[in-house]
Structure 1
């Protein structure tokens, strides 16, 4: 970013950085192996509209639950078939930042359900099928709460052992997941895959390239944008995400190759596919560092997974350095950032399953 950064360029840059990083709690399933007959709190898409094929090895249900702020979150619950009535370990899954549950998080959730876990992939507040106004805005606090709300939901399911719950965060939700697990002691283990620290990239730019003067200028511009939004009565939005014009960095092209491709990751409800964030979305992240309490995850185990060739690798390396034991950093040879979104030949699902099997053991047993 240039020291002579213009207002327009900053606002466009902020949106690009976000994109590149890029039914209530009472509606509990009486039997998670069968669909709920309760009337949903909000309309949900019933047809299978995921970016990945439906697995014959799991049962799938659309569900909703509320977070602590009263926002209704829409989610997909995946349960392995023929669970045999035993209590299952469970995983809450979300991410990437600007994605929806029909994309990477759903793929992770379904694949881990195939390996024996009850899983829930959810849309964050203000995005996808979840509630909250205005749309397409993010919050380090509310989104951290979303993770704990998913833990609430899982812990109320009769088929779930609430003492064996883990969390998986992908991309920008990797950092949010770590922030949530640090404070939510109910979670027994956490995986962050191809992690972004959204507070760091929004406040300091990539590789911490933003100077204090540039940060002050950015905050000045975003603060004044609030008056524009207040006068208009609705928030301004940035340019449509990942509309390539030519000359973009390779990692932005990689993002577009996932989110814009109908053969890969495009989904009409995803902000990164065909929409945009509100211009002032970075404000709350710029003064709320997500990694402050990462050491408090211990003694619960942490697994960080990142691609060797990912532009974002330094986020996981920094998190690993700041975290306390037990911790592990798994680098996937040759992989870039988005390879860990959907490439089944690259994402180490067996390693993740083994991690959770080891760390979510039932009392007195040697495996899940």
Structure 2
């Protein structure tokens, strides 16, 4: 148990500390999308082949789509529409997990909800996947929240969407982004956060809020000085590749590997599939809590979904306690964190459908 606790702490410090050892050694930070110096290269134009990790449904129509956020970053998305639908429909924007792409879990959620009668949009966050933004694989909580609102902009301009009936789904780290977006953007009429992480909380306080003040100060010192190194180099350094195992890791790290690094969920463009974030990505997350105004989602409804056995369950439980009615916390029996990425027998799509039908 103590080994797993220490392993978890090291995982977090890797997440927020920037992989200093690998940086000093000049290690390539991303796999398959990097130069010899570790700088990720720009992504290619939108692909046309079906490269999702799930099978294509014959119950929906699919098309690629691009739209811009208010920072003028072009976001790439997959639009799913029910076959033979008519009139103006309710719509749902979907993104997540943090470090994933639209061809993974968010696309599965989007396609499934489109089968159930909604226009849905799964999109790649800024600086990742097929979306634009340089440098590659960098994140900011402000921009991530903005990306959800930009997706709402996009859906509301579609001729077959009722712009007064738009909801959002955030998965894992994007569950927290979804709640933050719903708090600030009153056009969002309902929000679901599935297997949620609050990325600002975990980066600033550690898993289960275990980071000491000394560890936090040390990490910020490290990241602050990394900025000078990046400025001198004229480009960002990257962290070590994500979700590679050496043996003996905590069970939840094995679960991540089993999704992102095997045929079950691997996608070459995903940060989590052996690629990496920039070293200094954690800086704004350590300074900008995203759920400060969660009560302001009310009176619009919120549904939090989490696995009974998920290591991250406490994020949803504390968010639920802080939120105002109407709210619901649904605990899925026997499910771990990653099960809610893609396990169709555990993701409560029937409950999500009823929730959005009633709310939208």
Does the TM-score normalized on the shorter chain lie above 0.5? yes
Aligned with 2:150: secondary structure? helix
Deviations 1:113-166 (A, max 9, x none): 000000000000000000001100110011110000000000000000000000
Alignment partners' CA distance in 1, 2:16 and 2:219: 10
For residues 79 and 350 of structure 2, what CA distance do their matches in structure 1 show? 20
- 2:29 aligned partner: none
Match of residue 79, structure 2, among 74, 77, 80: 77
**Distance in structure 2 (CA, Å) of the matches to 1:200 and 1:98:** 17
In the aligned structure 1, how far is the partner of 2:321 from the partner of 2:227?
Answer: 37
Secondary structure of the 1:273 match is coil
Q: Distance in 1 between matches of 2:212 and 2:280?
A: 20
Q: Shift in Å at residue 274 of structure 1?
A: 2.1
Deviations 1:313-366 (A, max 9, x none): 000001000100000000000000000000001100010010000010xxxxxx
- The residue that corresponds to 2:61 in the other structure is 59
Classify 1:12/1:288 alpha carbon distance in 2 versus 1 (closer, same or farther; 3 Å): closer
| Structure 1: unaligned runs, 5 residues or longer | 17-41, 361-368
| CA displacement, residues 27-55 of structure 1 (integer Å, 9 cap, x when unaligned) | xxxxxxxxxxxxxxx82110000000000
1:143-158 equivalences under 5 Å are 143-158=144-159
For structure 2, the 5+ residue unaligned runs are: 20-43
Equivalent pair of 1:14/1:202 in contact (CA under 8 Å):
no
After TM superposition, the runs of 4+ consecutive aligned structure 1 residues lying more than 6 A away are: none
The normalised TM-score by structure 1 is 0.87
Match of 1:218 in 2: 219
Task: Let me know the Cα RMSD of the aligned residues.
Answer: 1.7
The residue correspondences of 1:313-352 to structure 2 (distance < 5 A) are: 313-352=313-352
Instruction: State yes or no: 1:114 paired with 2:121.
Output: no
SS in 2 for 1:271: coil
Q: What SS does the aligned partner of 2:300 have? A: coil
Residue 181 of structure 2 aligns with which residue?
Answer: 180
The DSSP-based 3-state class of the residue aligned with 2:320 is helix
Instruction: Tell me how far 1:211 sits from its aligned partner.
Output: 1.0
- In 2, the alpha carbon distance for the partners of 1:350 and 1:295 equals 26
How far apart are 1:13 and its partner, in Å? 6.3
Q: Distance in 2 between matches of 1:173 and 1:14?
A: 21
Retained in 2: the 8 A contact 1:15–1:276?
A: no
Note the C-alpha offset of 1:11. 4.5
> How far apart are the structure 2 equivalents of 1:306 and 1:186?
25
SS in 2 for 1:93: strand
CA distance in structure 1 between the partners assigned to 2:274 and 2:61 by the alignment: 30
Superposition TM-score, scaled by structure 2 size? 0.89
How many residues of Structure 1 are paired with residues of Structure 2 in the alignment?
330
SS, match of residue 274 in structure 1: coil
Equivalent residues in 2 for 1:198-217, closer than 5 Å: 198-217=199-218
| Distance (Å, rounded) in 1 between the aligned partners of 2:109 and 2:18 | 26
Mapped contact 2:17–2:222 kept (Cα < 8 A): no
- Contact 1:271–1:277 (8 Å) recurs in 2: yes
| Per-residue Cα deviation, 1:61-85 (whole angstroms, up to 9, x for no partner) | 00000000000000000000000x2
Secondary structure at the residue paired with 2:106?
helix
Q: Is the 8 A contact 2:306 2:331 kept in 1?
A: yes
Answer yes or no: is the 8 Å Cα contact 2:12–2:206 preserved in 1.
no
